Amino acid sequence: MKNSLIKFLPIIAAVMLATSCSKDDDNAVNPKTNKSEQSGIPFTLRVNTGSTLKKVGYAEETTDPDKKGYYNVSFGEDDVDKLEMKIYTGEITDESNLLTTLTLKNATTGEFTGTVETAPAADADLTAVITTAGNSLVTSSDKSLQDLLATCAHRFLGTFKYGAAEVKLTDQNAYLDITYRESNKIDINSSEITVTDSRVWVAVPAQNAVTSQALGISKAADEVKPGTIYTVVRNFTPKAFSVFPTKKVYFSSGNLQYNPKQNQWQFAAHQYDICHASDKYVVDYYGNWTDKWTDLFGWVGISSTVAGAAIYGVNTSTSSDDYGNEDGEALKSDWGKVFGENSNWYTLTTEEFQYLFSSNVTRANKYGVAKVAGVNGLIILPDDWTDPKPDGKEFKSGVADDYGSGFYATKNTYSAEDWAKMEANGAVFLPAAGSREGTHVDDVGDLGAYWSSSADGDYYYASALLFVSDDVNPGNSGRYFGLSVRLVRTAL
């Protein structure tokens, strides 16, 4: 799910630990003597008053890189005798491992107190947990990130050894800073979130998977880090492209990618990203898919009997029977459905590709070959286009005068910084990612080949957009070839 811009915010609380067990103290408990009126061994934890737990707010602006991202807190009197800290001896998911529960007794000093019936070994591993504002799994704010931090459920956790001087507690939430203009509703882990003025901030439990059909994201649990804010970059273009006289679409923010080992789908982080620029094989020595991302897929018709990821062309077979054997049949499953059965994403038809590159008044001169961030490919401009002319470079439509990977740059050349300005104005870039036959990738930098959802007249083929440095032409390809996929969604 570029897919996301990650900014680490180590939300940390320093906790001072003090335990007492004295034979000379009248209130202490000696296991070999009768118990005193106080049951258990006194146990006190002090929270550093400069740390943030219950009440969250940004630290003052500072140029000190060691202080950026930290938060401050002061406990209120309303927290006294209410805010709890639980101490565990093992897995915190098992309440049988709960050693003791402490309660805030002093809001000024941040002191939590309680007792423990039996002191653990001096070097025992313990876990401290503070939970605030309930246990909602997904919470949101349409006001600001600060408002979300102050109102959402928090879970702070840290490990330490019994008798240690301090423990650091870190926020176990992850946060999503989302910009979304398609509608006023999105889904996060099946929860419906309201979007106001195209912006919303969402808190989710870290180290849990995060999925959204609306946003087209699917992040594995190990990708969702505690105390981290993820900026969810708009995953479709800011401007629309006509694919019929009465229909417009937005393009996704990058080519579709898949990791076979992780069974995860995502959009490329940048429009110019390709998976096989250097590694031309998708399997290892033993013929197994590697733990790497791939972006070249076969075209599978509905008559095919394959299952799993193979229905989306994740298959090294070169047997045409594995890709369907009926003329003119539909896709077995559109690639847009990798983000959910009701996903808004879909693959353009061959007729839509033809209109996109036609010479009608809306689409004339709206494409050109180029080299972007060192990658050859094809630039497509939206209907409403204003050239930002980055670094004084004016976009040149059309193709190069000759064939070959070295000729893309003769038409247009943009650095990554220049391209960011083009992209902000709505331009799309389709990298020349080559094609895959079986396990081997070829023609990277020479050929751009993008599947449509349309079959060709012969069952052996399906329709695709094909381009090289001196030609752009909707054509066809053998279904078992792995080609690129760039999804779109209908513009409202």
Task: Tokens for 238, please give them.
Answer: 């800011």
Residue 380: what pLDDT? Answer: 98
Between 405 and 342, residue with greater pLDDT: 405
Average pLDDT over residues 467-471: 98
- Compute the Cα dihedral for 270, 274, 279, 284 and give only its sign: positive
Residue 69: what pLDDT? Answer: 40
Residue 485: what pLDDT? Answer: 98
Task: Reply yes or no on whether the pLDDT at 374 is more than 70.
Answer: yes
Task: Reply yes or no on whether the pLDDT at 26 is more than 50.
Answer: no
The residue ranges of DSSP E strands in 89-183, in sequence order, are 98-106, 111-116, 125-132, 139-141, 154-161, 166-171, 173-179
| Alpha-carbon separation of residue 410 from 159, 272, 403, 419, 420 (angstroms) | 59, 18, 11, 16, 20
Return d(Cα 179, Cα 336) in angstroms, integer. Answer: 21
Residue 464: what pLDDT? Answer: 98
Q: What is the largest CA-CA distance in the chain?
A: 98
Pairing mode of beta strands 173-179, 228-232: parallel
Average pLDDT over residues 427-442: 96
Residue 256: what pLDDT? Answer: 96
Residue 465: what pLDDT? Answer: 98
Percent of the chain with pLDDT over 70: 83
- Compute the Cα dihedral for 298, 301, 302, 305 and give only its sign: negative
For the stretch 188-207, pLDDT in tens is 988 899 888 778 999 998 88
pLDDT level of residue 5 (50, 70, 90 thresholds): very low
The answer to whether the beta carbons of residues 173 and 205 sit under 8 Å apart is: yes
Average pLDDT over residues 215-244: 80
Residue 381: what pLDDT? Answer: 98
Between 377 and 285, residue with greater pLDDT: 377
Average pLDDT over residues 406-421: 96
Helix, strand, coil tally for the chain in percent (to 5): 10, 40, 50
Q: Among 65-69, 76-80, 238-242, 426-430, which stretch is predicted with the lowest mean pLDDT?
A: 65-69
Task: Reply yes or no on whether the pLDDT at 282 is more than 60.
Answer: yes
Percent of the chain with pLDDT over 90: 48
Return d(Cα 455, Cα 38) in angstroms, integer. Answer: 80
Select from 476, 242, 470, 484 the least CA-distant residue to 358: 242
Q: How many residues appear in the chain?
A: 492
Average pLDDT over residues 340-366: 92
Torsion, CA 362, CA 364, CA 370, CA 375, rounded to 10? 50
For the stretch 254-272, pLDDT in tens is 999 999 988 889 899 899 9
pLDDT level of residue 37 (50, 70, 90 thresholds): very low
Pairing mode of beta strands 41-47, 111-116: antiparallel
For the stretch 71-104, pLDDT in tens is 444 567 888 999 898 999 987 877 889 999 999 8
Residue 53: what pLDDT? Answer: 40
Q: What is the CA radius of gyration of the chain?
A: 29
Q: Among 62-66, 170-174, 377-381, which stretch is predicted with the lowest mean pLDDT?
A: 62-66
CB 115: neighbour CB atoms within 10 A? 15
Average pLDDT over residues 230-248: 85
Residue 435: what pLDDT? Answer: 97
- Contact residues for 176 (Cβ-Cβ < 8 A; gap 6+): 188, 201, 202, 203, 204, 210, 229, 230, 232
Residue 170: what pLDDT? Answer: 72
Q: Among 14-28, 35-49, 163-177, which stretch is predicted with the lowest mean pLDDT?
A: 14-28
Phi, psi of 422 (to 5 degrees): -65, -45
Return d(Cα 13, Cα 171) in angstroms, integer. Answer: 9
Between 36 and 150, residue with greater pLDDT: 150
The answer to whether the beta carbons of residues 313 and 297 sit under 8 Å apart is: yes
pLDDT level of residue 47 (50, 70, 90 thresholds): low
Task: Tokens for 159, please give them.
Answer: 């490990």
Question: Tokens 């969702």 label which residue?
Answer: 224
Residue 458 DSSP label: S
Average pLDDT, the chain: 82
Between 161 and 380, residue with greater pLDDT: 380
Residue 19: what pLDDT? Answer: 37
Residue 147: what pLDDT? Answer: 81
Q: What's the angle, vertex CA 434, arms to CA 289 and CA 442, rounded to 5?
A: 65
Residue 294 DSSP label: B
CB 380: neighbour CB atoms within 10 A? 22
